[in-house]
Amino acid sequence: MLVDQFNPLEGKMLSILDKDGNVKDKKLVPKIEDEKLIEIYKTMLLTRVADIKALQYQRQGRMLTYAPNQGQEATQVGSIAASEEKDWLVPAFRELGAWLYKGVPLEQIFLYWYGNESGSDFPENVKMLPISVPIASQLNHAVGIGMATNIKGEDEVTLAYVGDGGTSQGEFSEALNFAGVFNTPTVFIISNNQFAISVPRKFQTKAKTLAQKSIGFGIPGIQVDGNDVLAVYAATKEAVDRARKGEGPTLIETVTYRLGPHTTSDDPKIYREDVEVEEWKEKDPLIRFRKYLIDKNLWDEEKDEKQKEEFENIVNSNFKKVEESGKISLEKIFKYNYEEMTPELIEQYEEYKNYIEKGVK
């Protein structure tokens, strides 16, 4: 078991690919079919392309706001790829790669950041909760889903994401405690990108790792190289399998780095040195995985260029559709969350409708 082999208290971190895409220890390489390896890589590449474009749209004044993902693609795609279609994805707000792999249409993700509420109205078959901006609040929802799964006797697993800053929120502790006590099939993924806006990881806790926080809740925990997609996949697959067998939750800390700003209203140059960013660029998860695939004769540079171009066109046409989509109806904003609107929602809807129509409260 990886969780036994890599005890975070002993300072051990699971890492399979080095920064040049070489395998460090063949025994650790997870079994993944070639087709799936390519799907994982393509999703990481699409994430990168969409991310860069989204930042440009925002800078051109065409998008409301945006939370960039550059550098975190292995954490996002490697983890979700280890789950199945029937499993749940409970996100924070910086998991573009996971959303795309899960099947959320890019157009909808752009709609969300464009400020259009219907961006959260996912297709029925995509089992993902809406993006959660209140830090760590989503973790209790994830555990609730797990409790329901247990009651219903189903074998669905929930993957729940949170940032390093989110681990200091009360909800983080509450969720992990409940998950342990009720043995829920929940895999918690801490995307440790080293920052909570401008606050560095060292100000979140005196603990050496975030993974070791699992110990106090009596659940397994593991720290992995979050820029190594194979390591993220291997740790998540083991945790997902354990959860599906009824053996409860796991906490995974992926050690990664946010290469871009926190959001489009942030300037990271104020609180971190360029040299640190350059060091992390050397560990880029995409370059590393691409080298691995090229060595396996599954990919080549020419294919890569063509794929990138194709994705750029796809991203542009999706964003164009968003810009042309017009306004969302007020009713839809209030109606999509519940099968029937709650009395509070009806009241809020009426009040707001009145305000829009007559300009009075």
Catalytic positions, written as ranges: 258, 262, 271
If one counts every other C-beta atom within 10 angstroms of the C-beta of residue 248, the result is 21
Q: Which is nearer to ligand TPP, 94 or 237 (CB)?
A: 94
Q: Which is nearer to ligand TPP, 176 or 322 (CB)?
A: 176
Write out the H or E segment, with its range, that includes residue 318: helix 301-324
Site for ligand TPP in 179-238 (CB under 6 A): 193, 195-197
Question: What is the rounded CA–CA span in Å between residue 221 and residue 231?
Answer: 14
With CB under 6 A as the contact rule, the residue among 262, 283, 288, 290 that binds ligand TPP is 262
Question: What is the rounded CA–CA span in Å between residue 262 and residue 77?
Answer: 20
Write out the H or E segment, with its range, that includes residue 113: helix 106-114
Site for ligand TPP in 239-258 (CB under 6 A): 258
Q: Which is nearer to ligand TPP, 195 or 334 (CB)?
A: 195
Verify binding: residue 166, ligand TPP, rule CB under 6 A.
yes
Verify binding: residue 285, ligand TPP, rule CB under 6 A.
no
Q: Assign 286 to helix, strand or coil.
A: helix
Per-residue binding letters, 108-147, with ligand TPP (x by CB under 6 A): -------------------------xxx------------
Question: What is the rounded CA–CA span in Å between residue 292 and residue 295?
Answer: 5
If one counts every other C-beta atom within 10 angstroms of the C-beta of residue 200, the result is 13
- Minimum CB separation from ligand TPP for residue 49, in Å? 20
Verify binding: residue 65, ligand TPP, rule CB under 6 A.
no
- Minimum CB separation from ligand TPP for residue 345, in Å? 22
As given in the structure block, the two tokens for residue 171 are: 């909800």
Q: Which residue is nearest to ligand TPP (CB)?
A: 163
Q: Which is nearer to ligand TPP, 30 or 268 (CB)?
A: 268
| Partners of residue 188 on adjacent β-strands | 160, 251
- Minimum CB separation from ligand TPP for residue 171, in Å? 8
- Please tell me the number of Cα atoms within 13 Å of 103 on its side-chain side: 14
Question: What is the rounded CA–CA span in Å between residue 10 and residue 30?
Answer: 23
Verify binding: residue 346, ligand TPP, rule CB under 6 A.
no
Number of residues in contact with ligand TPP under rule CB under 6 A: 14
Question: What is the rounded CA–CA span in Å between residue 233 and residue 189?
Answer: 12
Q: Which residues bind ligand TPP (CB under 6 A)?
A: 94, 133-135, 163-166, 193, 195-197, 258, 262
